[in-house]
Structure 1
Amino acid sequence: MQVSKFAETTQHLGLLVLRISGSVFLLQVHGLPKLLNYAAELQRIEDPFHLGANLTLMLAIFAEVLCPLAIIAGVLARLACLPILTVLIIALAVVHPEWTLEQGQFGWLLLIIFTTVLIGGPGRFSLNSRLPEALRYA
């Protein structure tokens, strides 16, 4: 089946909008507040696996700041989705299992967005398209 150039371009634009909007929301709502208020967040962060607040916060910052930046750029976007999805699943299933769907809706929406990016990849409008073939699908 032949896909028209217009349909292909709109699919790639859709992936661009999806990965940028999801990443910006994650950065603004969760990542940057943790990074900019590190000391305060260190006192508040949940530590469900008893790794220590410092390590747990650093892992959260990695997943919520560095990974979204990679996804925005479209560099190793699929790989960058994995830490985000891990943090989201831990937050929804381990840290806040009592949340209703309504209370956890932002987490669920982010889970849907980053799972879609994981499946669909970053699209043509990304730096991934300039990587060697072996890294292009990561």
Structure 2
Amino acid sequence: MKHSLSQPPRIDAGLFFLRLTGCLLLLHVHGLPKVFHFSEELTRIEDPFGLGAYLSLLAAIVAEVVCPLFILLGVFTRLACLPIIGVLLVAMLFVHPGWSIAEGQFGWLLLIIFTTLALTGPGRWRVFGGVAEVERGAG
């Protein structure tokens, strides 16, 4: 069997689909509501480490809005997954420790998606240098 450094196009399509759907779900359900309803969110945000509502909300917005935009573009994907993974772990382990798997399934699934992307990277279908391209070589 011949070993090749390039992966089949279906792998790149799968990674792109994972990036697209995971980021759109995170943005729609968690990120954009925090931006559009900032003042209201300040009264509801959990603050498990005593940083204050403002800093906790800003951290959540970075993880749930800024980082998904980088991941959608395939730019700094592995690095951009780390704040998302951190916020999800804090939510699941510190803010909602009593949730059953069923109650926290959305958070756990997002954690699976973004941990997978942190391990694999974006694949070859990504934006680089402001121009959409299918990069040749390793993803």
Q: Do these two structures clear the TM 0.5 threshold for a shared fold by scoring above it?
A: yes
Cα distance in 2 for partners of 1:58, 1:29 equals 16
**CA distances 1:96-117 after superposition (whole Å, capped 9, x unpaired):** 0000000000000000000110
Give the counterpart letter for 2:8 in structure 1.
E
The Cα offsets for residues 4-59 of structure 1, whole Å up to 9 and x where unpaired, read as x7x61000010000011000000000000001000000000000000010000000
Instruction: Find the counterpart in structure 2 of residue 2 from structure 1.
Output: 3
Q: CA deviation at 1:127?
A: 2.3
2:22 maps to 1:14: no
CA contact (8 A) 1:27 1:68 kept: yes
Could you say which residue in structure 2 is the equivalent of 1:106?
106
CA contact (8 A) 1:23 1:72 kept: yes
2:61 partner letter: I
TM-score, L = length of structure 1? 0.89
Q: Counterparts of 1:76 and 1:20 in 2: how far apart (Å)?
A: 15
* Deviation, structure 1 residue 128: 4.8
Paired AA for residue 2 in structure 1: H
Q: Which structure: greater strand fraction? A: 2
Which whole-Å deviations, capped at 9, do the CAs of 1:70-113 have from their partners, x for residues lacking one?
Answer: 00000000000000000000000000000000000000000000
Q: How does 1:1-138 map to 2 (within 5 A)?
A: 1-2=2-3, 8-128=8-128
CA RMSD of aligned residues (A): 1.9
Q: Distance in 2 between matches of 1:119 and 1:9?
A: 18
TM-score under structure 2 length normalisation:
0.88
Q: Which residue identity is paired with 2:3?
A: Q
Q: By percentage of residues, which structure has more helix?
A: 1
Contact 1:12 1:124 in 2 (8 A): yes
Q: Secondary structure at the match of 1:27?
A: helix
Whether the aligned pair in 2 keeps the contact of 1:122 and 1:128 (CA below 8 Å) is no
Total equivalences in the alignment: 130
CA distance in 2, matches of 1:70, 1:48: 27
* 120-129 or 22-31: bigger deviation: 120-129
Partner of 1:133: none
Stretches of structure 2 that go unaligned for 5 or more consecutive residues are 131-137
- In structure 2, distance between residues paired with 1:129 and 1:42: 36
